[in-house]
Amino acid sequence: MAIPLTILLVKRFQFAVLTLIISATASYYAEPQTPSKVDLDHGTTDLANHSWMSQLSDRVSLASLNIPGTHNSAALLEPLPKTAKCQTLSIPEQLQAGVRFFDIRCRHEKDQFAIFHGLVDQHLAFDEVLNNMLVFLKRNTREALILSIKEEHLPKATTRSFSQTLQSYIDQNPLAWYTKNAIPQLNTARGKIVLLRRFPSAKPMGIPATDWQHDGFYQGANLFIQDRFEIPNALAKWEIVARALQHSIKDESFDRLHLHFASGYTKNGFGLPNITQVSSSINQKLADYLRRAPHRRHGCLVLDFITADLARAVYKLNFTPNK
């Protein structure tokens, strides 16, 4: 018996539809349906403070990122209240909180480094700071740390230069350091300490930052720096911070690392610094600003008394907000 033409056409149509469904299903499972990573274009649902850089594209330059940082990162001790202490979190706590820019001040003593803030001994060896960072990077290989090193106080009983002593530390783990003078892409910096050099050196060593100025708006060959620290009041500091941040947002070139120091101090009648009079106000203003800030490049925001919440507010600007 011949099959009616109508039934035959229906069956052929059903077969064609079934073929398309099978083909589409096979294609779906053959190629994982994960969102492609685009530079600075992810949601923030799964971000963790200790590993936020792992979610960024390898192709981005460090100069294009929003990086939480700390001023006088290891200054936790002071002889008088409000005069020298700049942080409450230790270096390991800062690392876990998401801080990726560190400002370390070293006194050169007996061919080793001790951590100081001005004249104030922090009773901490550079070895310990460095070990904290190396241990963290071994556990979080897709993170990168920018380490600004500056000579502090007067050298004592030394037989070599400051740069030679630093080289001796680097030589202990050379593969863990990035010491070229160019600002690297993230893929090059992952798992490494990127050296920012604030001391003279007879040979090239790290990203040079010896042409540092404190006028509140300085642009050098490799850096844009806002580091006006002695100020009449917190409002004056915020005006400087806000102006510099707007400059970084509008600057679309990524050939300079932008450093914004939100730190500073006023002086009392005896000439003693008052750090918290500035930090308390500035950190609150910065928190308010970051809630509504555009997701554009600001740079490294370097704070006194950083918290995990402030650090997160900074690095979240690297990612597209969830709808």
Q: Supply the pLDDT for residue 43.
A: 44
Q: Supply the pLDDT for residue 321.
A: 79
Backbone angles phi, psi at 36, to 5 degrees: -70, 140
Q: Output b/e per residue, 60-78; b: 16+ Cβ within 10 A.
A: bbbbbbbbbbbbbbbbbeb
Q: Supply the pLDDT for residue 215.
A: 79
Instruction: Please give the CATH superfamily to which domain 42-318 belongs.
Output: Phosphatidylinositol (PI) phosphodiesterase (3.20.20.190)
**Nearest Cα residue to 78 out of 266, 283, 302, 276:** 276
Chain Cα centroid distance, residue 125 = 23
Q: Supply the pLDDT for residue 322.
A: 64
What's the CA gap between 258 and 134, in Å, rounded? 25
pTM: 0.86
Per-run averaged pLDDT (10 residues), the chain, 323 residues: 44 43 34 30 67 97 98 98 98 98 98 98 98 98 98 98 98 98 98 98 96 85 94 97 97 95 96 97 98 98 98 97 63
